[in-house]
Amino acid sequence: MAGPGGIGQELFGDPMGGGGPISVLRARAIQSQVVRIAFTEEPINVSPSGQYDAFNPANYAFSVVSGQATAPQAVGVAQPIIVGPVAVVGGGDERGVDVFVDRALITGITYQVTVQNVRGRFGGDLGAPVSATFPGSAKITIKNPPPRKVELVDVASDPILGGFTVDDSGDLADQSGKDGLRKRMLRRAYTPKNAFSHLPGYGTGLRLKKNFSSPQMAAYKADLEGQLKQEPEVAQATVQVTQQTAGANSVITVVMTVRTKLGSIVSATTNLPTGGVSIP
């Protein structure tokens, strides 16, 4: 009986039957999450739980050599072993395994696989080189989120008093177009700034206790104009602020005018008296 690596086994070991040290020949990504690792000899390929077995995914460690990516982890090895000539750069026979990883191997990223513990089927420990680099093969498509609609649809409600409007069918009525935009313009004018914790900076509402100074009026005007421009359908916005004083009381009148991206003009006016808000 021929010994390991003897007659019929010359392809995988020393022709004299002693086997030889096994090393890593090459690695390449053959699918987005599959790396084919070729050895100089046929490795042990019996069990995924074998300490020195090429079927054991714990014997493969991956890292990123260049580019920004998370290193993959081996999660399994395909059976049976791959043996035979394969048309690859450099030619030669492949005696190796297909290792499955937990994430896509991205084009433009260079990876490295390091093999440990694997031994030759016909004798021989793992020797240098024990690692190989390879490029990723999965193309990543960056998808932009769908554009926000120019005109929003809201549930119809009174901008000051609240409450919902019911349509003829008995369902909640919709509010869109100029009416919906006007309501949102007024909402920005009378909502106190930062009243909504999930919308930092939202609102310009005032609780006046004394007359508005000129610098305060200019700052309020600039803030409100900037906020109106944040509405998705608004292309341009202008705000006029006037103050009327009668004794100790004063009323700020705010006139907001916007031009939408579709060319429509929408206006809204509100008064900001001491202690409250009203709409003429």
Q: What is the pLDDT of residues 35-74, one digit of tens each?
A: 999 998 899 999 999 999 999 999 999 999 999 999 999 9
Distance in angstroms (rounded) separating the CA atoms of residues 175 and 156: 5
Cα-based torsion angle of the residue sequence 158, 164, 165, 166 in order, rounded to the nearest 10 degrees = 180
Tokens representing 122 are 């016909």
- pLDDT of the chain, 280 residues: tens digit per residue: 333 333 333 334 444 444 458 999 999 999 999 999 999 889 999 999 999 999 999 999 999 999 999 999 999 999 998 876 655 455 556 789 999 999 999 999 999 999 999 999 888 899 999 999 999 988 776 666 666 555 565 656 655 555 556 566 666 556 557 888 888 888 888 888 888 888 888 888 776 666 677 888 888 899 999 999 998 889 999 999 888 876 666 778 899 999 998 888 999 988 875 544 444 4
Cα–Cα distances in angstroms (integers) from residue 92 to residues 26, 96, 127, 223, in the given order: 11, 12, 19, 71
Report the pLDDT value the prediction gives residue 249, as an integer from 0 to 100.
66
Cβ of 89: how many Cβ atoms within 10 Å? 7
Q: CB–CB of 158/179 below 8 Å?
A: no
Report the pLDDT value the prediction gives residue 12, as an integer from 0 to 100.
40
Give the list of residues 6+ apart from residue 135 with CB closer than 8 angstroms, or none.
29, 107, 108, 109, 110, 111
Domain boundaries, the chain: 24-135, 154-273
Tokens representing 154 are 């809201």
Q: Which of the following CATH numbers is that of domain 24-135: 3.40.50.150, 2.40.128.20, 2.60.40.1220, 3.40.50.20?
A: 2.60.40.1220
Closest CA to 176 of 65, 57, 260, 83: 260
Distance in angstroms (rounded) separating the CA atoms of residues 27 and 63: 13
Pairing of strands 154-155, 174-175: antiparallel
Q: Which of the following CATH numbers is that of domain 154-273: 3.40.50.11540, 3.10.450.40, 3.40.50.1000, 3.40.190.10?
A: 3.10.450.40
In the chain, which ranges are E strands? Answer: 24-31, 34-39, 60-66, 74-77, 82-85, 93-101, 110-115, 131-135, 154-155, 157-158, 162-164, 174-175, 234-246, 249-260, 265-273
154-273 matches 24-135 in CATH topology: no
